Structure 1
Amino acid sequence: MTDLLTFDRDHLWHPYSSMTAPSPVYPVLSASGTRLRLDRDGREVEVVDAMSSWWCAIHGYAVPELDAAVRKQLDAMSHVMFGGLTHEPAVELGRRLVRLAPEGLDKVFFADSGSVSVEVAMKMAWQAHAADGLTRTKMFTIRGGYHGDTFSPMSVTDPEGGMHSMYGGLLIEHVFADRPPRRGEPLDDWKASTTALFEQHADEIAAVVVEPLLQGAGGMHVYDPEAVQHLAALARAHGALLIFDEIATGFWRTGPLWAGTGHAGVTPDILCVGKALTGGYLTLAAVITSAEVAARVDASPARAMMHGPTFMANPLACAVASASLDLLESRGAADDVRIVGDLLRTGLSPAVGHRAVADVRTIGAVGVLELWEPVDVARVTAAALDRGVWVRPFRNLVYTMPPYVSTAEDVATITAAMIGAVDEVHG
């Protein structure tokens, strides 16, 4: 293990991490159910995963039904190109996504990852307007958002408070409205300023791009469904398309199947999904749109959607994604999320009024402690591990998005560890 960690430190870059002064990492020995087995200073420890491996391992680990789907598909083929060919796993997954998607969205483009799905959605919007002979090149979005780490998604991620501010001079400059107020706060001033800004740029706007209701990596900010409705109305009134990034919020994470449709009653023109799609087994995303948008894309000068990932519709990923969606429906994901959400709300309530905690909030199977100051990530992580839980804080947030299959004991362990770690390090 010492050799492993030494090589890792000297040669492997980790996400959002320095190569020359890396943060501590913990070797994972195995994973099963909601638990990770880690090596910690030569000791084997078992901890509850509070992060669902960045929100995708919603069923936990070593899931028999998903393992079986992968093994079965391996007997047929692990991969084949999607250009000029097709296969049963892609068709079956497409059928399931069309059935689950909001009404009217029935054209599916498979992508490699969530970030790539946003790239594809933005390209769809540009091509759709090119078909009309319009030169609409701008996207309209709200501050506080996060849409991925590739260039087009970075350009609609918060340009100042987000993770990509250092790339500002390299990115297309889109139009950013203020972040909507927190859920339940007055919206009139925000709606007025957002409307004025949109109308100023209306002839340039190809699409509105937002994470509906919950902004994820931009700060776990929960805002009002009425703000989603207002953004949708602006897009409709001015001929712009509406793109919902539901990579983090889709598949019941916030309660309903889709955050935008379920909470706000709004159907987008283009829907991006990923993360939980394969249950955390393989990377896969999808862009789902309407027949009208597809026809407009095909009427553009290119006469086709100009994107084609090498691993588009990878058979292994499609097979396990279908198995994951079957599990979600058979187990009753909405009920699972409601139960986990109730447990998170109860478990985190003792942190209300804690001197280090500025806000406690939950939505669906998401629980957040927002601190007054930036989190000491290394120390809070270690303190949570001492309490039997893996968390990955960022900025001033200690949060959890646990697997949907988490038990009452799991959630109680997670919430107690979050509060205890914050109290130990920042109290």
Structure 2
Amino acid sequence: MTSPVWHPFTQHGLNEPIPRIVRAEGAVLHCADGSSLIDAISSWWVTTHGHCHPRVAAAIATQAATLDQVIFAGYTHDPAEAVARGLVALAPNGLDHVFFSDSGSTAVEVALKMALGYWNVVDPRRVSIVVMEHSYHGDTIGAMSVGERGAFNRAYEPLLFDVVTVPFPMAGREQATLDSLEAACAAKPAAFIVEPLILGAGGMLMYPAWVLREMAAICARHDVLFIADEVMTGWGRTGTLFACEQADVAPDILCVAKGITGGAIPLAATLASGRIFEAHLSTDRAKMFFHSSSYTANPIACAAAAANLSIWAEEDVLGRIAVLSQGISDRLAGLDRVAFTSPRQQGTIAAVDLVTGDHGYLSSVAPALRAFFLERGLLLRPLGNTIYVMPPYCTDAGQLTCIFDAIAEAGMLFAR
């Protein structure tokens, strides 16, 4: 019987196999047919400590039997309060207010609405948003508007608003990016939104911390709100808890999701500085911040996030990340430079570009690579001809070897 399920980012007309996953543990997914897969991309960048982590799973079970859901408009509960306090304590200085949502896309939508709401009070003329070339911030309307225009959103152009774009800071051309941002900020936009250090879906493009620091400084000089989208880069992926730490940057608004619950259950948060919150503070109910969803700060999701925060506080997570990062670095260095170009790494994220005449997200080599890796017991999902890894922090040396041996073999078979 044909499944009625319509899967995301899946072209069902290709009739590619869709494995049925029945169980997961650590870095491994178990399939209905008895096979298993090493989850080399953390199930779309969300799983941090490993699948079905006992502490997170226990917190979910306990909370589900106590308080499953309550409206968050005008009500609160202990898990949300604990997570909010924990986030403020961990985040860069000045981010003192936490607004919960349920995905990275909605965290970005909230950030954009916060920025525009702030300027609506302070200076209504400031309405434009500055973005970086090749960026991706999600699939809701505002998030698509501030992302790269192309295959992801071409069909929805009539819904999207215009933005100002600065070039990606390619190695050796960083100053062009900074000059472009300086000119854009001089025109007094509302905000600049950026993925710190790494552009994810845009091809795992990486740039140095000093560029991030300079971009934040430019925004500060022109009083342009600096929005850091750490949906992917947060929770240790780049080697530090947040990527902004490496540039000593404290954004005006910070978006987090994915690993906030250890990857077990959907939750997101947008952290804002005091001035953003206070611009919306009034005795006039018409001036409140108008955003919510039915499941805002769901207690079960918040309990999972609280357990994740406890793991970070009580265990040497950064130590595990350092070991994993070194293992990735060692194996990345061993890949054939004829088959692969542009090897790059930041923390536990690494990527290479397969040498092929077929580039871009819709490259025909991508489905072939996915099938090849699936046959070798790996969940790897290349971005066109870009092969990347982003494994859970529990991934061991043997599993890393399997991952990179398969990548090396793919280079021999598919490079041209």
Compute the TM-score of the two structures, normalised by the length of structure 2: 0.93
Aligned mates of 2:45, 2:285 — CA distance in 1: 38
Among 332, 335, 340, the residue aligned to 1:351: 335
Query: Does the residue aligned with 2:130 lie in a helix, a strand or coil?
Result: strand
Q: Is the CA contact 2:169–2:176 (under 8 Å) kept in the aligned structure 1?
A: no
Aligned mates of 1:358, 1:169 — CA distance in 2: 37
1:112-123 equivalent positions in 2, closer than 5 A: 112-123=102-113
Among 255, 258, 261, the residue aligned to 1:278: 261
For residue 192 of structure 1, report the CA deviation from its aligned partner: 2.4
What is the match of residue 172 of structure 1?
A: 161
Aligned mates of 1:370, 1:325 — CA distance in 2: 35
Give the letter aligned to residue 142 of structure 2: S
Among 221, 228, 235, the residue aligned to 1:244: 228
For residue 211 of structure 1, report the CA deviation from its aligned partner: 0.5
Report whether the alignment pairs 1:368 with 2:351: yes
For residue 44 of structure 1, report the CA deviation from its aligned partner: 1.8
Q: Provide the aligned length of Structure 1 versus Structure 2.
A: 409
Q: Deviations over 1:59-115 (max 9, x none)?
A: 211211111101110121211111121111111111111111111111000011110
What is the match of residue 26 of structure 2?
A: 33
Query: Does the residue aligned with 1:370 lie in a helix, a strand or coil?
Result: strand
Give the letter aligned to residue 152 of structure 1: G
Aligned mates of 1:406, 1:325 — CA distance in 2: 20
For residue 233 of structure 1, report the CA deviation from its aligned partner: 2.1
Among 345, 361, 381, the residue aligned to 1:392: 381
Give the letter aligned to residue 366 of structure 1: I
Q: Is the CA contact 2:98–2:272 (under 8 Å) kept in the aligned structure 1?
A: yes
What is the match of residue 292 of structure 1?
A: 275
Aligned mates of 1:143, 1:38 — CA distance in 2: 38
Among 13, 18, 40, the residue aligned to 2:11: 18
For residue 273 of structure 1, report the CA deviation from its aligned partner: 0.2
Which blocks of at least 5 consecutive residues in structure 1 are unaligned?
A: none
What is the match of residue 313 of structure 2?
A: 329
Query: Does the residue aligned with 1:398 lie in a helix, a strand or coil?
Result: strand
Give the letter aligned to residue 164 of structure 1: N
For residue 352 of structure 1, report the CA deviation from its aligned partner: 4.2
Aligned mates of 2:208, 2:290 — CA distance in 1: 35
Q: Is the CA contact 1:375–1:393 (under 8 Å) kept in the aligned structure 2?
A: no
Aligned mates of 1:236, 1:399 — CA distance in 2: 34
Report whether the alignment pairs 1:129 with 2:119: yes
Runs (4+) off by over 6 Å: none
Q: 1:308 to 1:190 in 2, by over 3 A?
A: closer
1:12-411 equivalent positions in 2, closer than 5 A: 12-39=5-32, 43-160=33-150, 163-182=152-171, 185-199=172-186, 202-203=187-188, 205-260=189-244, 262-298=245-281, 302-355=286-339, 357-372=340-355, 373=358, 374=363, 376-411=365-400
Q: Is the CA contact 1:348–1:419 (under 8 Å) kept in the aligned structure 2?
A: no
Query: Does the residue aligned with 1:256 lie in a helix, a strand or coil?
Result: coil
Give the letter aligned to residue 125 of structure 1: A
For residue 189 of structure 1, report the CA deviation from its aligned partner: 3.1
Q: Is the CA contact 2:131–2:166 (under 8 Å) kept in the aligned structure 1?
A: yes
- When structure 1 is superposed on structure 2, of 293-302 and 220-229 the one drifting more is 293-302
Give the letter aligned to residue 409 of structure 2: G
Compute the TM-score of the two structures, normalised by the length of structure 1: 0.91
Give the letter aligned to residue 350 of structure 2: G
Aligned mates of 2:209, 2:364 — CA distance in 1: 29
Query: Does the residue aligned with 1:89 lie in a helix, a strand or coil?
Result: helix
What is the match of residue 403 of structure 2?
A: 414
Query: Does the residue aligned with 1:106 lie in a helix, a strand or coil?
Result: strand
CA RMSD of aligned residues (A): 1.8
Q: Deviations over 1:25-55 (max 9, x none)?
A: 111121111111124xxx4212211011111
For residue 346 of structure 1, report the CA deviation from its aligned partner: 1.0
Q: 1:344 to 1:375 in 2, by over 3 A?
A: farther
For residue 170 of structure 1, report the CA deviation from its aligned partner: 2.6
Query: Does the residue aligned with 1:411 lie in a helix, a strand or coil?
Result: helix
Q: 1:114 to 1:88 in 2, by over 3 A?
A: same
Query: Does the residue aligned with 1:108 lie in a helix, a strand or coil?
Result: strand
Q: Is the CA contact 1:380–1:422 (under 8 Å) kept in the aligned structure 2?
A: no
Aligned mates of 2:286, 2:353 — CA distance in 1: 47
Aligned mates of 1:132, 1:197 — CA distance in 2: 19
- When structure 1 is superposed on structure 2, of 271-280 and 125-134 the one drifting more is 125-134
Aligned mates of 1:295, 1:90 — CA distance in 2: 21
Give the letter aligned to residue 369 of structure 1: V
Aligned mates of 1:289, 1:74 — CA distance in 2: 29
Which blocks of at least 5 consecutive residues in structure 2 are unaligned?
A: none
